[in-house]
Chain A
Amino acid sequence: MVNPDEPADFVSQSADPAELAQFAQHARHWWDREGPFAPLHRINPARMDYIRNQAIQRLRLRGGLQPLAGLKALDIGCGGGLVAEPLARLGAETMGIDLVADSIIAAKHHAQGQDLPLTYRVASAEELAAAGEVFDLVTCLEVVEHVATPSAFLATVASLVRPGGVLVLSTLNRNLASLALGKIAAEYVLRWVPAGTHDWRKFLRPSELAAPVRASGMQVVDVTGLNLHPLYGWQARGPALVNYLMTAVKPGDV
């Protein structure tokens, strides 16, 4: 399904019109914690913990309440800013990009008055890459499974990381567990996300996610599952059963 050698189609590689329409329909609900994106709000603290810890470890940061101060961060497919806003709060000069204009409007609206080092743009990863922009930290969470040609897209994403920088990805594994839990249970039984949110055939196994990243000259340094603990809630620890996170670093001076 994933072919790292697939030629990059400049327009369609990250823009799947049907997928974008699906998100546009719900854009104004990004920050409604009880709305269609409620599951993202629930897993978000665990995702952010993971990003924070990986950034501190890989970039040899000092920790504290603003460990990312002085860094440039990019969140690709930022939606309403559920990841970009926390990155800015952790101190990074952050840019969030998304192809859905309504999502960028929602993100800008939510950031108003917060005094965060945060900018949002309706832009594709390809546009930024073409402009030669690079970042210390690039995040791209729950996006790849919505993209038409993941391998080309991931190559572009990797090119946005400066040498020595860090890339954090997340997606859903493609196995029977994720078909049962990530697709059928989440969309039709528990109704955590709107039906039709995901196409299970587009989910990626960790090896499939890692291959194009490695092909772009990055080292995959961590794969961690995002799992629901019966007592402590969502946690970034354990095996990549359904949702999982991956960290890659680009060789170079930290």
Chain B
Amino acid sequence: MSISKFPHHDVAVVGAGLAGLTLALALARSGMHIALIERQSPDQLAAVEVDGRTTALAASARVVLEDIGVWHRLEPYGGPILDIRVTDRASPLHIHFAHAAVGDDPMGHIVENHILRRELLAALAAEPTLTAYWQQSVTAFDGAGDGSGATATLTLDSGTIIQAPLVAAADGRGSALRRMAGIGVRASDYHETAIVCTAYHEHSHDGIAHERFLSGGPFAILPMLDNAAGQYRSSIVWTENRSLAEHLLTVPKPRFERELARRFGDFLGQVTVPGEVWSYPLSVVVAKRLTGPRLVLVGEAAHGMHPIAGQGFNVSMRDIVGLRDAVTGASLAGQDHGSPMVLSAYARKRWPDIWAMVAATDGLNRLFRTDLPPVALARRLGLASVNRLPLLKRQFQRHAMGMLPFGR
């Protein structure tokens, strides 16, 4: 048959965020030839200044990372979550999840995003079947008409042309590839902003995560590993009404720290924020279709959700495993892994989980936002009763740990 004049790969992954890097690694480890296209450089991706967020790696995500041989690189940087305490405003009723209720392992680990990226990049560098196209953007996507052609073609701004039977769009919430493929989204703005920073405190957090439902929105204290100097730190995800959040971002640091302390409390002693404060406007974005002709959307390109339960990345991990299994399964049987049959089977499997998680995070957020007395009362009683029903609580906990993905 004719030899194509363009480099040919099995899968072209567009976007080297957490989802794109993990997907590229998972596929390359399966022996597939991967093109990874990213508009930034590896140094930019691994810089702490760019992304101050942390990611909660649930137990199920850990299993995946172990499977693709990268967990041993991450474990030294992961703050184990031994206990989660959920409280509603000042109510004394609370719900308390201890990892001992579901096994010996921690419920998850908190890892800084820039470290996740740095370690994933280091693991990728050792993969012989991966070709990276750094600092290049996709300017055109051709899914071979209706996908009946053999390969999709990507044109990069450098002039490079890449062909592959399957293109995976992992280019985030505002996915350019999704737009080029004409796939619409259902989106809703929460009119909230997440303020993210690293808080240093006098006492150890003992591996306890706190999720507080305050009137401005959920306020999370996530236990990070102590820094090199042995200082205790926690990652803060502080959801606030957008206008108030924008104001808080402009006030002098001591004032910001006072506002933070009001919500954080003094149970860990004095709280300071020596470093940068980041902010992220919150919205929910769900693609109308997960696939197109020789195209599949993964991670936030497919679903961006409220960070309330820290589930976004865990859902993305299930995308990655599902796609890896679909693609390698097809390849092992010599099938065209970018064919509509493989892609529609993947989408059918993924939708129930994605919708369940979007609905759950959206519903949780709305439920805990309201001050309507009957709802607030029901909510508090609900929390307290969940706490008293060990079976139901374990079930909740397993979901949060990603051990029971919906719709599997």
Interface CB pairs A-B, < 8 A, 17: A33-B340, A33-B341, A44-B333, A44-B335, A46-B333, A49-B333, A52-B333, A64-B31, A65-B31, A65-B331, A86-B334, A88-B334, A89-B331, A113-B150, A114-B150, A114-B151, A115-B4
A89: contacting residue among B4, B148, B328, B336, CB under 8 A: B336
Binary contact track B314-358/A, C-beta < 8 Å → 1, others 0: 000000000000001111111110001100000000000000000
* A103-138 interface (Cβ within 8 A of B): 110-119
Q: Output the residue of B3, B329, B341 with the most chain A CB within 10 A.
A: B341
A237 at the interface (CB under 8 A from B): no
The answer to whether B1 and A52 have CB atoms under 8 Å apart is: no
Q: Which residues of B contact A89 (CB under 8 A)?
A: 331, 334-336
A48 within 8 A of B: yes
> Counting CB contacts under 8 A, is A97 at the interface?
no
B31: chain A residues at CB < 8 Å are 64-65
Chain A, residues 30-59, CB within 8 Å of chain B (1/0): the string is 010100000001001110110010000000
Question: How far, in Å, is A10 (CB) from chain B's closest CB?
Answer: 31
- Which partner residue on chain A sits nearest B30 by CB separation? A65
A21 to B328, CA, bound (A): 37
A45 touches B32 (CB 8 A): no
Whether, in the assembled complex, A90 has its beta carbon less than 8 Å from a beta carbon of chain B, the answer is yes
Task: Choose among B8, B335, B340 the residue that contacts A45 (Cβ–Cβ < 8 A).
Answer: B335
Who on chain B is nearest to A88 by CB? B334
Measured CA separation A33–B339 after assembly (Å): 10
Q: Is B149 an interface residue when CB atoms closer than 8 A count as contact?
A: yes
**CB of A242 closer than 8 Å to a CB of B:** no
Partner of B334, one of A46, A64, A87: A87
B148 to chain A, nearest CB (A): 8
Check A145 for interface membership: any CB of B closer than 8 A. Answer: no
A41: chain B residues within 8 A (beta carbon): 341
B332 lies within 8 A of A65 (CB): yes
Q: Judging by beta carbons under 8 Å apart, are B341 and A52 in contact?
A: no
Residues A65 and B2 in contact, CB atoms below 8 Å apart: no
Name the residue in B4, B328, B335 with the highest tally of chain A Cβ atoms < 10 Å from its Cβ: B335
Map CB proximity to A onto B19-35 as digits: 1 under 8 Å, 0 otherwise.
Answer: 00000000000111000
Nearest A-chain residue to B151, judged by Cβ: A113
Please report the C-alpha to C-alpha distance between residue A65 and residue B33 in the assembled complex, in whole angstroms. 11
CB-defined contacts of A111 to chain B, threshold 8 Å:
1, 150
| Number of A-B pairs, beta carbon distance below 8 Å | 62
Interface size on A, residues (CB 8 A): 27
A98 within 8 A of B: no
Interface residues contributed by chain B, number (CB under 8 Å): 24
**Chain B residue with Cβ nearest A92:** B334
Digitize B159-174: 1 where CB-to-A-CB distance is under 8 Å, 0 elsewhere: 0000001000000000
Question: Of A31, A49, A65, A115, which one neighbours B3 at CB under 8 angstroms?
Answer: A115
**Chain B residues with CB under 8 A of A64:** 31
Residues of B within 8 A of A90 (CB): 334
Chain B min CB distance to A24 (Å): 22
Q: Which single member of A33, A85, A88, A113 contacts B2 (CB below 8 Å)?
A: A113
Distance between A23 CB and nearest chain B CB, rounded to angstroms: 21
Given A64-B31, A65-B30, A118-B1: A113 touches B333 (CB 8 Å cut-off): no
The interface residues of chain A lying within 8 Å CB-to-CB of B334 are 48, 52, 85-90
Residues of B within 8 Å of A45, CB to CB, are 329-330, 333, 335
Known contacts A111-B150, A115-B2; 9 additional CB pairs below 8 A are A33-B341, A49-B332, A49-B333, A86-B335, A89-B335, A90-B334, A111-B1, A113-B4, A114-B150
Contacts of B340 in A (CB 8 A): 33
Given known A-B contacts A41-B341, A64-B31, A65-B31, A113 and B149 have beta carbons under 8 A apart:
yes
- For residue B30, which residues in chain A have a CB less than 8 angstroms away from its CB? 65
Find out whether the CB atom of B331 lies under 8 angstroms from the CB atom of A115. no
Within the assembled complex, what's the spacing in Å between the Cα atoms of A31 and B328?
21
**8 Å CB contact of A52 from B8, B148, B330, B332:** B332
Q: CB within 8 Å of A: which of B99-118?
A: none
A118 to B2 alpha-carbon distance, docked (Å) = 10
Which residue of chain B has the shortest Cβ distance to A49 in the bound complex? B333
Residue A48 contacts which of B2, B3, B8, B333 (CB distance < 8 angstroms)?
B333
Task: Knowing A65-B31, A65-B32, say if A116 contacts B335 (CB, 8 Å).
Answer: no
**Shortest distance from the beta carbon of A119 to any chain B beta carbon, whole Å:** 8
Contacts of B332 in A (CB 8 A): 49, 52, 65
Q: Which 10 A-B pairs have the closest CB atoms?
A: A86-B334, A48-B333, A113-B150, A114-B150, A90-B334, A89-B334, A45-B333, A65-B31, A48-B334, A49-B333
Minimum CB distance partner of B10 in chain A: A65
In the complex, A64→B328 CA distance in Å? 10
Set of chain B residues within 8 Å of A65, measured between Cβ atoms: 30-32, 328, 331-332
B31 to A, closest residue via Cβ: A65
Residues of A within 8 A of B335 (CB): 44-45, 48, 86, 89
- Give bound CA distance, A115 to B5, whole Å: 10
The reply to whether B1 and A116 form a contact with Cβ atoms under 8 Å apart is: yes
Q: In the docked arrangement, what's the CA distance between A140 and B341, Å?
A: 24
A119 proximity list for chain B (CB < 8 A):
1
Within 8 A of B (CB), among A73-97: 85-90
Alpha-carbon separation in the docked complex, A241 to B165 (Å): 36
Write out the residue numbers on chain A whose beta carbons fall within 8 Å of the beta carbon of B329. 45
Say yes or no: A86 contacts B1, CB within 8 Å: no
Q: In the complex, which residues of chain B have a beta carbon less than 8 angstroms from the beta carbon of A116?
A: 1
Residues of B within 8 A of A114 (CB): 1, 150-151, 165
A118 to B1, CA, bound (A): 7
Report whether A112 and B1 are in contact in the complex, using a CB–CB cutoff of 8 Å. yes
Q: Which residues of B contact A48 (CB under 8 A)?
A: 333-335
